[in-house]
Amino acid sequence: MAKKELTADQRKNLLDTLKGRFEKNMNRHESVDWNHIQEKLEAAPDKLWSLFQMEETGGEPDVVTLEPQDGFHVFYDCSPETPKGRRSLCYDREAWEARKKFKPENTAMDMAAEMGIEMISEDEYRSLHQFGEFDRKTSTWVLTPENIRSHGGAIFCDYRYGQVFTYHNGADSYYASRGFRGKLKV
C-alpha cells in the first residue's frame, strides 16, 4: 500500500495546480472562494493525497458545483477524456474474480477505493456535461444500480453527437478506452 502522505513539494505543486485550474474554470463553481477550499484541504492531508492520486492518474480534478452539498465542496475529474491512468479496468472485484483468463490489473471500484474517492453516478455524469464536453473518444464506468449489477452487468456513459449516452456491458469487460471518473468531497 502506498504511503498516504505528500512531500512538501508535492503538496505545494498540487495546490498550485488546483488553484490554477480553479481560477481558469470559474463557470464550474461561480460562488466558491478558493481560499476557503485551500484551508479545508490544508486541514485534511488525506483529501490532498486523494486529489494527488486523481491528478497523477490524469483526472484533472476541479471543484464543480452541481447541487448544494451541506458545507462540502466536491472535486470531480474534469479531464476531457476518461483519465488515462484509470483505463482497462473491469467494473468491480466480483467481475474480476469471475474472469477465467486475461484479467485486467485492477477494477474501477477497487481503484477508486484505493485512491480514497468515489465513482460518479449516471446523474452526476450527465450533470457534469453542463460544464463541458467529456469523453468524446472514451467512455466512463458509472455507479451501477444493484438490480443491473446482480445480473452481471454494469453501466457506462460517453458523449457523442452532442448528447450523453448510457450503455450496458458485462461488468467483467474492459477496454483501453474505458475508465472511470471520480469525485471527492472536501
pLDDT digits (tens, 9 = 90+) for 146-164: 999 999 999 999 999 999 9
The x, y and z cell numbers of residue 113, run together, are 477505493
pLDDT digits (tens, 9 = 90+) for 47-81: 999 999 999 999 999 999 877 667 789 999 999 99
DSSP 120: P
In this predicted structure, what is the pLDDT of residue 1? 44
The x, y and z cell numbers of residue 164, run together, are 450523453
Q: Whole-angstrom Cα distance, residue 141 to residue 119?
A: 8
The x, y and z cell numbers of residue 110, run together, are 477497487
| Residue 90 near residue 96 (C-beta atoms within 8 A) | yes
pLDDT digits (tens, 9 = 90+) for 131-145: 999 999 999 999 999
Distance of CA 126 to the CA centre of its chain: 14
Distances, alpha carbon 92 to alpha carbons 112, 113, 171, in Å? 10, 11, 7
Q: Which residue has the cell 471500484?
A: 109
pLDDT digits (tens, 9 = 90+) for 41-50: 999 999 999 9
